[in-house]
Amino acid sequence: MKVRSITLHRVGMPLVRPFETSFGRESARDVLLVHLETDTGDGWGECVAGSTPGYSSEYVDGCAHVIEHHLAPRLFAADDVVASELGHLFSGVVGHRMAKAALEAAVLDAELRASGVSFARYLGAVRSEVDCGVSVGISTSIDELLDEVQGYVDAGYLRIKLKIKPGWDLEPVRRVRELIGADAALQVDANTAYVRGDIPHLKQLDASNLLLIEQPFDEEDIASHIALAGAIETPVCLDESLVSVGVTIDAIERGATSVVNIKPGRVGGYLPAVAIHDACVERGVPVWCGGMLETGIGRSMNVALAALPGFTLPGDTSASDRYYREDLTEPFVLSNGRLAVPTGPGSGVTVRTDLVRELALMPPRVVT
């Protein structure tokens, strides 16, 4: 496949409700989309970076710059671009995994559309629908949180994940557990908001019988996660720390994580994500698919990934209406707590280019 042009779109996607985490509150996503034109057809990818480097060192403007000036030239210079060789093609650029993942998605989409193969089949999916959870932001009051959670339970979500931070943890978690009942699947995500000295405090979460606690400490602080795992009954699950298959294997072997959140954007793409899945399956470690408030473009691919055999826990793969009033593709609709895995070629969804134009934050940038 020969890449002819890469168009970068910036779309402002208002969220149906603000999403607050320990690192900030957002009411809209600034989405970078990559549209690739090749000699065999086109493909789309979505970048998961946020608008500021407040969550990850990567952010939208930085990703657009790296794509235009460092990754795109490598694609244009290659006579035959193949998704499975992008790791080598991009190896001269250190890090910038979210930028690489967005391009990888677009290359995969173009390649698979041209060969008539779905993401799900290509990645090795074994299910036609996937179990879905929902990630619930920090609220302004416990009553408001309980209302929101009840709405998701009524909608059929199979697992609730609560965002926590110091000052918003034991009590909201206890009250949600009381609301949804002892047997309902419940987990928490701290997005690095705690420090090692908080271990005795976090240990009190054991009383709420959680599926897991996600990334309480700094992404580079594997040691504190090992210490927590030794002190708490609740399984510890890393997210931000796990940027590659090597780091993931190391964290598993050192006892820092007994469950793994896989996000393609965080690890440089769907193929590295599959490699992490395989390494976890080999070691008997359950995995689940994380989310970054993706539009239907990223969601379609995440849902395909979540259909692989090792994804035994419900993912943050929620329905379109949990995020956006209008999605950039046909909406993903929850049915019995599940989303259907797209079956068409490539991502299997159609990008609503009219809406991409309508919601554009700036003119598209064509890179050739």
**Cα–Cα distances in Å, from 94 out to 87, 100, 144, 248, 349?**
11, 10, 43, 18, 31
Closest by CA position to 110, among listed 9, 7, 3: 3
Contacts of 305 (CB under 8 A, 6+ apart): 119, 123, 125, 262, 264, 270, 273, 274, 277, 289, 311
Cβ distance to ligand OSB smaller for residue 189 or 327: 189
Footprint on residues 216-275 left by Mg ion (CB under 5 A): 239
CB 191, min distance to Mg ion, A: 6
Among 189, 219, 221, 327, binds Mg ion (CB under 5 A): 189
Phi, psi of 186 (to 5 degrees): -140, 135
Applying CB under 6 A, the span of 5-13, 164-172, 276-284, 289-297 interacting with ligand OSB comes to 289-297
Footprint on residues 76-95 left by ligand OSB (CB under 6 A): none
Residue nearest to ligand OSB (CB): 291
**Binding partner at 37 among Mg ion, ligand OSB, none, C-beta below 5 to 8 Å by kind:** none
How far, in whole angstroms, is CA 66 from its chain's centroid? 20
Among 20, 131, 239, 327, binds ligand OSB (CB under 6 A): 239
How far, in whole angstroms, is CA 295 from its chain's centroid? 11
Spell out, one character per residue from 116 to 145, where the chain touches ligand OSB: x when CB under 6 A holds, - when not: -------------------x----------
Applying CB under 5 A, the span of 109-117, 182-190, 247-255, 293-301 interacting with Mg ion comes to 182-190
Binding flag, residue 346, ligand OSB (CB under 6 A): no
Separation of alpha carbons 60 and 51, rounded Å: 5
Q: How many CB atoms lie within 10 A of CB 355?
A: 16
The C-alpha angle 284, 287, 293, rounded to 5 degrees, equals 175
Footprint on residues 318-337 left by ligand OSB (CB under 6 A): 318
Binding flag, residue 293, ligand OSB (CB under 6 A): yes
Binding flag, residue 259, ligand OSB (CB under 6 A): no
Among 43, 264, 269, 291, binds ligand OSB (CB under 6 A): 291
Among 86, 292, 305, 319, binds ligand OSB (CB under 6 A): 292
DSSP assigned state of 219: T
Residue of 2, 100, 203, 263 marked catalytic: 263
Residue of 2, 100, 161, 163 marked catalytic: 163
Separation of alpha carbons 368 and 363, rounded Å: 16
How far, in whole angstroms, is CA 102 from its chain's centroid? 12
Tokens matching residue 323: 């995020």
Query: Which residues are known catalytic residues?
Result: 163, 263
Q: Which residues bind ligand OSB (CB under 6 A)?
A: 55, 135, 189, 191, 239, 290-293, 316, 318
Q: Which residues bind Mg ion (CB under 5 A)?
A: 189, 214, 239
